[in-house]
Chain A
Amino acid sequence: MPRQTPASRLPERQRRALRRSVVLIAVALMLTGCTSISSSSAKPAASDAKAAKAGGTLEVALSAEPDALDPTLARTLVGRTVFTSICEKLYDVDNKLNIVPQLAASLPQFSSDGLTVTIKLRSGVKFADGTTMDATAVKTSLDRDMRLSGSARASELSSVGSVAATDPSTVTIKLKQPFTPLTAILADRSGMVMSPTALKSEGDANFGAHPVCVGPFKFADRVAQDHIDVVKDPNYYDASKVLLDKIQYKIIADSTTRFNNLKSGDVQVLDAVAPTDVAALKADSKLDLLSSDSLGYQGITINLGNVDGVGKPGKPLPASLASPLSADARVRQAFEMSIDRDAINKVVFRGLYSPACGPISPASPFSTPAAQVCPKFDPAGAKALLAQAGVATPVKVSMIIGNTPAAATLGEAIQAEVKEGGFDLRLDPTEFAASLDQTDAGKYQSFQIGWSGRVDPDGNIANFVSTLGSQNNDGYSNSTVDSLLEQARSQADVSARGNLYAQVITQLNKDVPIIYLYRQKNFTGVARTIVGVQVYGDGLLRFKTAGFAA
């Protein structure tokens, strides 16, 4: 059975030419050092370990404008990249995605009933304004995260009952129910400690315009839609390791313009290199490409019973949306079997990404062989399954996709593939904000959407598939999955939790509420004059030890 891609709609001669060029591109990629990409998967990516000198201003191109630089309110991924310079957290991840202490002195201690968490803090740490970072500051920050109106942290901290400063270097957290993913949550924005003095003087509304935390750099200046400047912080506890005087984050939304700025030397680091620019970047002798596997995924969410909106109990879809796809798990399995993930990766993404079959990245310490099981590509099997389910073919299905050219290419590839499996897929290109509205409200059959990924698998699974989960916009509900996810939240042991998630994924493979398609890679372009830039699996750029080559 030939692979069906968008190419299937081309005349045979062009199809052959296209296939030839795909092969050529693949060979070329292999010859031109594709190994540097694949070898870095799941490993830290850092620019060369050559000697670096102190001083200088590093210019970094960001792909979007960060939102408020207020750890309580911030929601964007680019915002997190800026925070790595100015706001350290209680915990961080290392290059293998293990959680390690940052402002805390050690990993948190969970009591035997899982309801009390004790956190010991690093001593002698000062905020950028010179005041001392202590347990009271941690309590002030966590209380603000939980209570401030519009807080983006409130829901991830919903398991926390109260926070107490037991002594200047000890924080005790009481939980409403056992919740071990808290450690990972404190390794993100909820774990950032804000200066209580600055919170008081700036007020809640203005703190994001002049954030003060603990970090190798401190906030200096921001001009909306242009740049954010941070400068070396002499108060930082590890200031001797910091080389750069200043970092200027420039906001350049267009990927071509961003890449041109890196080539021209106007910026030295480029966040989010487009897959289309990867080959050109690797061919440039003045530039390096860093890459790391994303913790997130891209996939297709299928509406099984979201009729009244997210957070409302699922029920059968109305006649206008009902289809065998929502009614019968075998039809969804058939849909998944008709998708050739490898072909999508090769044709749409030039083989740069990796096929994904589940919500946990293989790079995660929580991954198990069972979590990576992949339903096989088998369009003939799909047709047989549809016959077994007794549905008339082709099964008509609609899918909301983005309104960008890249989203259209992906949508058309899926459309061509599932046709072979017995599906007639209609694509509905929709502007992003409008598509979220529509799918939250349950007005869709299927939706091509992804998730940027979290270090703890709970953040990549629970909200999406647990009954009434906060991001469960497919209306899926399965008591076995709910109970396994609940158990995993009260387990501290990584391998025990990994096994529970494997069982969840096995069940999801049967029910297919989400078809996982591929996992992106974080590509970062760095000028060869710069050393010590680090990119881990969380996709954030770390500049603490970066500098200009000596």
Chain B
Amino acid sequence: MGRYVLRRLAESVVTFVLVTIVVFAGVRALPGDPARALAGEESDPTTLAQIRKSFGLDEPIPVQYLHYVENALRGDLGRSSRTGLPVATTIREALPVTLQLALFAIVIAGLIGLIAGVVAAVRRRTVAEWAANAVALFGLSVPSFWLGLMAILVFAIAYPVLPASGFVSVFADPVQSFRHLVMPAVVLGSGLAAVIMRQTRSAMIEAMGADYIRTARAKGLGGAQVIIGHALRNSLIVVTTIVGLQLGALISGAVVTEQIFVLPGFGKLTIDAVFTRDYPMIQGVVLVTATAYIGVNLLVDLLYSVIDPRVRVGGGAL
């Protein structure tokens, strides 16, 4: 077991180092000089040389990389070349925004998707199923930037009940947080809601025809108890797997939603950093993302080995 864990750890470290090298080189391969992007209008050769010097861009790339690794290991991700603020602080402020948005979107998508899916499965060939299908089709086919703009036009401008933009943390003011996040979360969750609805519907239709449902009815259970307690509970396994798989898509979808609703989240941070050639920020963002991915994968691998000893034995034999 110890050897297996060590080997997986060593593999993760190698992966991690490779990722940082690829990003470091990749960012520098982008056309566009960061010093020029930073200098904006007021560029002249002397100023550009000064900027390169102050951000260490005049050193050879391998030296820059070593400096970066050295500082990163001490927890210093550098300062944004755009805002001059520490990268670590900026990322720390942006992450909770995206996480709150994604969680809220899952809750909303789950609520809409499950209810619509159950209704569509139970009330087959009725107006209710038709309506639920229409909602699903709408959620899947309408792009989120359009839905977002329409939502703002209706709920913030024509009938101003919700704010058009901005973010308030749920820990600071739950009511304001809800008001600010509800539109973005619905927009972000609309696609997922449609997927959940369709999965729930097919799983429910299958479950409703199963023997145990007939048994449950034969025992004299009421309609609601059969649907919620038996059919839905069994259908949830499929739905949960789907939600897990869609989580990554949800977080990348947040990039667009964050732009439309001006949420200072992780996705917007990444996009803005790329456009302004903010090397320290791009590197910081990728470092955090890579750490999260590698960490989760490592954890899952280790869990597998605990759950199923054959994994580590098989792994050891390779």
Which residue numbers of A lie inside 8 Å of B, CB to CB?
A: 65-70, 73, 75-76, 149-152, 154-156, 205, 208-209, 222-226, 250-254, 256-257, 260-261, 263-266, 309-311, 431-434, 436-437, 440, 451-452, 463, 470-471
Identify the stretch in B11-19, B109-117, B258-266, B310-318 within 8 Å (CB) of chain A at 4 or more residues.
Answer: B258-266
Among residues of B, the one whose C-beta sits closest to the C-beta of A209 is B85
Question: In the complex, which residues of chain A have a beta carbon less than 8 angstroms from the beta carbon of B34?
Answer: 433
**Counting CB contacts under 8 A, is B61 at the interface?**
no
Structural contact, B264 and A223, CB atoms closer than 8 A: yes
Structural contact, A254 and B46, CB atoms closer than 8 A: no
Structural contact, A431 and B264, CB atoms closer than 8 A: no
**Counting CB contacts under 8 A, is B240 at the interface?**
no
Identify the stretch in B76-84, B186-194, B224-232, B292-300 within 8 Å (CB) of chain A at 4 or more residues.
Answer: B76-84
Total contacts A-B at CB 8 Å: 147
* Cα distance, A68 to B276, chains bound together (Å): 14
Contact status of A224 and B33, CB under 8 A, knowing A150-B54, A252-B165, A264-B163: no
Question: In the complex, which residues of chain A have a beta carbon less than 8 angstroms from the beta carbon of B262?
Answer: 226, 250-252, 257, 261
Name B39's contact: one of A65, A70, A152 (CB within 8 Å): A152
Question: In the complex, which residues of chain B have a beta carbon less than 8 angstroms from the beta carbon of A149?
Answer: 50, 53-54
**Counting CB contacts under 8 A, is B59 at the interface?**
no
Question: In the complex, which residues of chain A have a beta carbon less than 8 angstroms from the beta carbon of B10?
Answer: none
Structural contact, B157 and A263, CB atoms closer than 8 A: yes
Q: A224-B80, A260-B157 are in contact. List 7 more A-B contacts (CB 8 A).
A: A149-B50, A225-B268, A257-B262, A433-B275, A433-B277, A436-B37, A436-B43
Among residues of A, the one whose C-beta sits closest to the C-beta of B262 is A252
Contact status of A65 and B272, CB under 8 A, knowing A257-B165, A266-B163: yes
Tell me the count of chain B residues lying within 8 A, CB to CB, of chain A.
Answer: 51
* Cα distance, A418 to B38, chains bound together (Å): 34
Structural contact, A224 and B85, CB atoms closer than 8 A: yes
Q: List 27 A-B contacts (CB under 8 A).
A: A67-B83, A149-B50, A149-B54, A150-B50, A155-B42, A209-B84, A222-B85, A250-B166, A251-B262, A254-B259, A257-B152, A257-B165, A260-B153, A260-B157, A260-B165, A261-B165, A264-B157, A264-B164, A266-B163, A266-B164, A266-B165, A431-B32, A436-B37, A463-B44, A470-B44, A470-B45, A471-B43
Name B260's contact: one of A257, A266, A463, A470 (CB within 8 Å): A257
Closest 9 CB pairs of A and B: A470-B44, A433-B32, A68-B84, A150-B54, A226-B264, A434-B31, A264-B156, A264-B164, A433-B37
Structural contact, B149 and A451, CB atoms closer than 8 A: no
Structural contact, A436 and B47, CB atoms closer than 8 A: no
Among residues of A, the one whose C-beta sits closest to the C-beta of B167 is A226
* Cα distance, A152 to B39, chains bound together (Å): 8
Among residues of A, the one whose C-beta sits closest to the C-beta of B79 is A205
Structural contact, A152 and B47, CB atoms closer than 8 A: yes
Structural contact, B47 and A155, CB atoms closer than 8 A: yes
- Per DSSP, chain A at the interface is loop
Contact status of A68 and B83, CB under 8 A, knowing A254-B259, A257-B165: yes
Question: In the complex, which residues of chain B have a beta carbon less than 8 angstroms from the beta carbon of A154?
Answer: 46-47, 50
Structural contact, B33 and A310, CB atoms closer than 8 A: no
Among residues of A, the one whose C-beta sits closest to the C-beta of B39 is A75
* Cα distance, A433 to B43, chains bound together (Å): 12
**Counting CB contacts under 8 A, is B41 at the interface?**
yes
Structural contact, B156 and A266, CB atoms closer than 8 A: yes
Which residue numbers of B lie inside 8 Å of A, CB to CB?
A: 31-34, 36-47, 50-51, 53-55, 79-80, 82-85, 90, 93-94, 149, 152-153, 156-157, 160, 163-167, 259-262, 264, 268-269, 272, 275, 277
B106 to chain A, nearest CB (A): 23
Question: In the complex, which residues of chain B have a beta carbon less than 8 angstroms from the beta carbon of A66?
Answer: 83
* Cα distance, A266 to B164, chains bound together (Å): 7
Question: In the complex, which residues of chain B have a beta carbon less than 8 angstroms from the beta carbon of A253?
Answer: 259, 272
Question: In the complex, which residues of chain B have a beta carbon less than 8 angstroms from the beta carbon of A205?
Answer: 79, 84
Among residues of A, the one whose C-beta sits closest to the C-beta of B148 is A257
Question: In the complex, which residues of chain A have a beta carbon less than 8 angstroms from the beta carbon of B93?
Answer: 223-224
Structural contact, A67 and B51, CB atoms closer than 8 A: no
Structural contact, A152 and B42, CB atoms closer than 8 A: yes
Among residues of B, the one whose C-beta sits closest to the C-beta of A433 is B32
Question: In the complex, which residues of chain B have a beta carbon less than 8 angstroms from the beta carbon of A226?
Answer: 166-167, 262, 264
Structural contact, A224 and B47, CB atoms closer than 8 A: no
Among residues of A, the one whose C-beta sits closest to the C-beta of B45 is A311
Structural contact, A260 and B44, CB atoms closer than 8 A: no
Q: Which of A151, A309, A451 has the most CB of B within 10 A?
A: A151
Name A224's contact: one of B90, B166, B275 (CB within 8 Å): B90
* Cα distance, A338 to B211, chains bound together (Å): 83
Among residues of A, the one whose C-beta sits closest to the C-beta of B273 is A225
* Cα distance, A264 to B262, chains bound together (Å): 14
Among residues of A, the one whose C-beta sits closest to the C-beta of B265 is A225
A425 to chain B, nearest CB (A): 23
* Cα distance, A222 to B160, chains bound together (Å): 27
Structural contact, A225 and B94, CB atoms closer than 8 A: yes
* Cα distance, A452 to B42, chains bound together (Å): 10
Question: In the complex, which residues of chain B have a beta carbon less than 8 angstroms from the beta carbon of A434?
Answer: 31-32
Question: In the complex, which residues of chain B have a beta carbon less than 8 angstroms from the beta carbon of A451?
Answer: 41
* Cα distance, A341 to B31, chains bound together (Å): 33
B84 to chain A, nearest CB (A): 3
